Amino acid sequence: MKSCGIIAEYNPFHSGHAYHLQEARRQSGADILTVAMSGNFTQRGEPAIFDKWQRARAALENGADLVVENPVLGSAQASDLFAKSGVRILQALACDWIAFGAENGSSQEFSELAQALVEQEATINQTFHQVKNDGRSYAVQMNEAIQKVMKPSRIALEQPNNQLALAYLKENVSYPHPMQALAILRRGADHHAQQAVSTHFASGTSLRLLLLAKEYDNLEQWVPNAKTLKVLEPLDWEKYWPFLRYQIILQSHADLQSIYQMEEGIEYRLKDKIKQADSFASFIGLVKNKRWTWVRLQRLCLYVLLGIKKEEVLSFYKNEPVLRILGFNKKGQAYLNQLKHQRDLTIVTNLNKKTASLLPVEIRADRIYILPSGKEQNFSRIPIMVS
């Protein structure tokens, strides 16, 4: 069986994601669609609006065959490490293609540009450091460095989907058998659009705002499982603010220094500004500056909240991935059983004393994720099976 892999968050799952799954199957001709999906915390350092089980089920009901968790040590990272984690999961699962959303450009153009970026990486980094710290965003400055080094490209490098696509493909080329690139052009609202547009497609950002405000009118046109979502309690950073505040007040400067990505003495600024803030948004607003952007601080706060240490991240990327299966259909289950006989994989389908020892950070993160609800969760949950 041939498999097409996708790296996703589905936060929340919407009609654009369903379209992407449909096109990935049609354009690749793959037998299996395999998704490496972020767990309960996402790439921008935020809690997922709904838990990983609900999001995995939505994916399976709308085209995916197999959903595997991208653990928090891989999912809550800047684009290069996020890509590294997702790609190695898809590589471990023997995917033949990697399908990604793009604002413009063809599969061949993305593949060629990614290869060129890898070959010119040292020169690009040297050029980037010459323009760094001038007040503009990392993405804008890196784009300028790339443009200075590379020949002109049709691909819009400032677009977030294109940036992630190139991060995937740059990581992918390091493997002995790279997956084939499959660019699927984005339709509908812009990636970070604040308002859902009156079309079949809307941005994840706009849908999160609607769900948090519990504005459910016409939600069905953008979200396939809208009726299910109406009975769930959406989560955002403000729900975790009391727990984060407690951690920052409790821990000493030395304690905070052991947290992953705690650099440049930022722990002193966190300890100082926590006294003035009355919400997560106000806290980030007080701490942020040119060097510490909103998203970078969100990730750092997540590492504090979850108690993620530097050595835990180093160990995660050094070792082979542990594949936590969130769900499958019959085809996905058959494919997984086929892989078990062909490859030496560490696969977790339910938690017991032995398998739990393989996922200590993920279990810790999941327990913290449910704190706002005050409800215990079945952490030995078996994968979702969708017919």
Q: What is the pLDDT of residue 315?
A: 97
Residue extents of the structural domains in the chain: 237-312
The H-or-E segment that residue 142 falls in is helix 138-149
* pLDDT, mean over the chain: 92
**Whole-prediction pTM value?**
0.93
Q: What pLDDT is attached to residue 368? A: 96
Residues 6+ apart with CB under 8 A from 202: 14, 15, 16, 188, 189, 193, 196, 222
Which residues, in sequence order, are CB contacts of 292 under 8 Å at separation 6+? 266, 269, 300
Any residues with CB less than 8 A from the CB of 367 and at least 6 apart, and which?
377, 379
β-bridge mates for residue 68, sequence order: 36, 325
DSSP notation for 30-62: -SEEEEEEE-SB-TTS-B-SS-HHHHHHHHHTT
Mean pLDDT of 248-265: 97
Structure tokens at 156: 């819009």
With a cut of 60, say whether residue 327 has pLDDT above it: yes
Residue range 208-233: mean pLDDT, rounded: 87
- Kindly tell me if the per-residue pLDDT of 196 is higher than 60: no
**What confidence score (pLDDT) does residue 61 get?**
97
Considering only residues 23 and 151, tell me which one the structure prediction assigns the higher pLDDT: 23
Confidence band for 152, pLDDT divided at 50, 70 and 90:
confident
Q: Phi/psi at 183 (nearest 5 deg)?
A: -85, 125
Omega within 30 of 0 (cis) for the link into 383? no
d(CA 79, CA 71): 15
Structure token digits, residue 228: 């299910």
Question: pLDDT of 1-11, one tens digit each?
Answer: 999 999 999 99
Which residues lie closer than 8 Å to 39 by C-beta, 6 or more apart? 48, 52, 69, 70, 71, 72, 75, 324, 362, 365, 366
Q: Of 150-154, 163-167, 207-211, 352-356, which gets the smallest average pLDDT? A: 150-154
Point out the annotated binding site for ATP.
7-20, 101, 161, 186
- Res. 124: pLDDT tops 60: yes
Binding site, by residue number, is 7-20, 101, 161, 186
Rounded to whole angstroms, the Cα distance separating 371 from 51 reads: 12
pLDDT tens by residue, 60-89? 999 999 999 999 999 999 999 999 999 999
Q: Given a cut of 60, is residue 193 above it in pLDDT? A: no
Residue-level pLDDT at 198 = 47
Calculate mean pLDDT across residues 98-109: 96
The answer to whether the CB of 35 falls within 8 A of the CB of 59 is yes
Query: What is the structure's pLDDT at 186?
Result: 84
Rg (CA), the chain: 20
Is 178's pLDDT higher than 90? yes
> Beta-carbon neighbour count of residue 117 at 10 Å?
20
User: Which residue in the block uniquely carries the two structure tokens 């980094």?
Assistant: 125
- What's the rounded Cα separation, in Å, for the pair 178 and 175? 5
Mean pLDDT of 169-178: 97
